[in-house]
């Protein structure tokens, strides 16, 4: 696993602190320690006007991976006995390894809830919203309480994970946003009214700017809050302003 302070031996020890436990109903599970990415628990995101609390769970143990696969496949046989094509929640980490920190080998999946999720520390103390915001970050290790659900719409059927509760287990290196490569946007130039600089930024970096301002007309500048005096200061003429009734 990438972007971690732990050795492979330490990760093996960490993920074996507790064994994956599947409920008697075959639909609930308590994972062994897993690594969290993209947490949205203290501040949920809105989907169709509803709050959705979610995390991305990166599996770091073969035992957990096997247990989850068996559980999901058994559930699939139960709820979709007559369907061959059913979307499962698992994805390969390697598909995101070049874009995001932490992803390397094994599987990952998303778990979500439309209800607020309890987060506790390793001593089972419930954390406040502010504590969750600080301590539940991309890169932290946790044990997750999950349950399975099925869905089907427009001929597409699948299985997903509900997120129930989270116990924080161990701190690790915090995942940072991946910086775009310098040449990602080479050759792209945005001009026109969607790229109007503020007067302050334009004149502050005047040596790097040229007339006309980003290829804009005086009318475009006025629409974005520029005054006539500032337009003239930028190099436009009285006749150019008059052409647009300025």
In this prediction, residue 207 has a pLDDT band, given cuts at 50, 70 and 90, of: low
Q: What is the mean pLDDT of the chain?
A: 86
| Residue 155 confidence (pLDDT) | 75
Does residue 130 contact residue 122 with C-beta atoms inside 8 Å? Answer: no
Dihedral (Cα; 233, 238, 242, 246), 10-degree rounding: 30
Beta strands in the chain (DSSP E): 21-22, 28-30, 34-47, 50-58, 91-92, 107-113, 118-120, 141-153, 156-170
Q: Is the pTM of this model over 0.75?
A: no
Query: CA 59 to CA 61: how far, in whole Å?
Result: 6
Per-residue pLDDT tens digits for 89-103? 999 998 887 778 888
């Amino acid at each position: 696993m990438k972007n971690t302070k732990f050795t492979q031996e330490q990760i093996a020890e960490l993920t074996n602190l507790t064994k994956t436990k599947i409920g008697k109903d075959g639909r609930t599970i308590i994972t062994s320690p897993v690594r969290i990415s993209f947490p949205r628990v203290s501040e949920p995101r809105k989907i169709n006007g509803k709050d959705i609390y979610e995390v991305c769970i990166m599996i770091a143990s073969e035992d957990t991976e096997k247990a989850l696969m068996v559980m999901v496949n058994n559930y699939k046989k139960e709820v979709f006995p007559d369907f061959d094509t059913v979307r499962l929640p698992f994805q390969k980490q390697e598909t995101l390894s070049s874009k995001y920190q932490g992803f390397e080998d094994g599987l990952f999946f998303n778990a979500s809830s439309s209800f607020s999720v309890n987060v506790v520390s390793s001593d089972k103390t419930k954390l406040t919203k502010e504590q969750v915001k600080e301590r539940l970050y991309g890169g932290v290790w946790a044990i997750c309480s999950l349950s399975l659900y099925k869905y089907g719409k427009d001929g597409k059927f699948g299985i997903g994970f509900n997120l129930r509760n989270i116990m924080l287990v161990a701190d690790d290196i915090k995942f940072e946003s991946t910086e775009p490569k310098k040449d990602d946007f080479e050759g792209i130039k945005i001009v026109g009214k969607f790229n109007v600089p503020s007067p302050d930024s334009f004149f502050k970096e005047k040596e790097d700017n040229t007339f006309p301002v980003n290829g804009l007309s005086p009318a475009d500048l006025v629409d974005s809050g520029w005054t006539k005096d500032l337009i003239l200061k930028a190099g436009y003429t009285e006749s150019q302003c008059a052409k647009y009734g300025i």
